[in-house]
Amino acid sequence: MSFDAEERLLESLGPRVAVSDEPVVKFEHVTKTYKLYKNDRSRFLGLFSRNNKELVGIVHANNDLSFEIKKGEAVALIGRNGAGKSTALKMVTGVSYPTTGTVTVNGRVSALLELNAGFDGQLTGRENLSLRSQVLGMSKKEYQEIEERAIDFAELGLYIDQPMKSYSSGMKARLGFAFAASIDPDILVVDEALSVGDKEFRKKCINRMREIMSNENVTVLFVTHESAAAQEFCTRGIVLSEGTKVFDGPIDDAVEYYEGPAD
**Contact set with ligand ATP (CB under 6 A):** 34, 59, 61, 79, 81-87
Partner touching 84 among Mg ion, ligand ATP, none, CB below 5 to 8 Å by kind:
ligand ATP
Within 130-211, strands assigned E span 187-191
Classify residue 136 as exposed, middle or buried by CB count within 10 Å of its CB (0-12, 13-18, 19+).
middle
Query: Of the two residues 88 and 164, which places its CB atom closer to Mg ion in the complex?
Result: 88
CA dist., res. 189 & res. 179, Å (int): 14
Query: Of the two residues 28 and 242, which places its CB atom closer to ligand ATP in the complex?
Result: 242
- Residue 242 Cβ, how far from ligand ATP at the closest point, in Å? 8
- Residue 101 Cβ, how far from ligand ATP at the closest point, in Å? 15
Q: Is 99 in the site for Mg ion (CB under 5 A)?
A: no
Burial of 244-259, coded b for 16+ CB within 10 Å and e otherwise, reads: bbebbeebeebbbbbe
Partner touching 101 among ligand ATP, Mg ion, none, CB below 5 to 8 Å by kind:
none
Among 86, 106, 130, 244, binds Mg ion (CB under 5 A): 86
Count the Cβ atoms, other than its own, within 10 Å of residue 193: 22
Q: Is 241 in the site for Mg ion (CB under 5 A)?
A: no
Torsion angle in degrees (nearest 10) through CA of 98, 218, 222, 133? 60
SS3 of residue 95 by DSSP:
coil
| Residue range at the interface with Mg ion (CB under 5 A); choices 7-15, 60-68, 78-86, 137-145 | 78-86
Query: Of the two residues 181 and 223, which places its CB atom closer to Mg ion in the complex?
Result: 223
- Residue 254 Cβ, how far from ligand ATP at the closest point, in Å? 15
Q: Is 31 in the site for Mg ion (CB under 5 A)?
A: no
| Residue range at the interface with Mg ion (CB under 5 A); choices 21-29, 79-87, 154-162, 231-239 | 79-87
CA dist., res. 59 & res. 61, Å (int): 6
CB-based contacts of 227: which residues, under 8 Å, 6+ apart?
78, 255, 258, 259
Binding-site ranges for Mg ion (CB under 5 A): 86
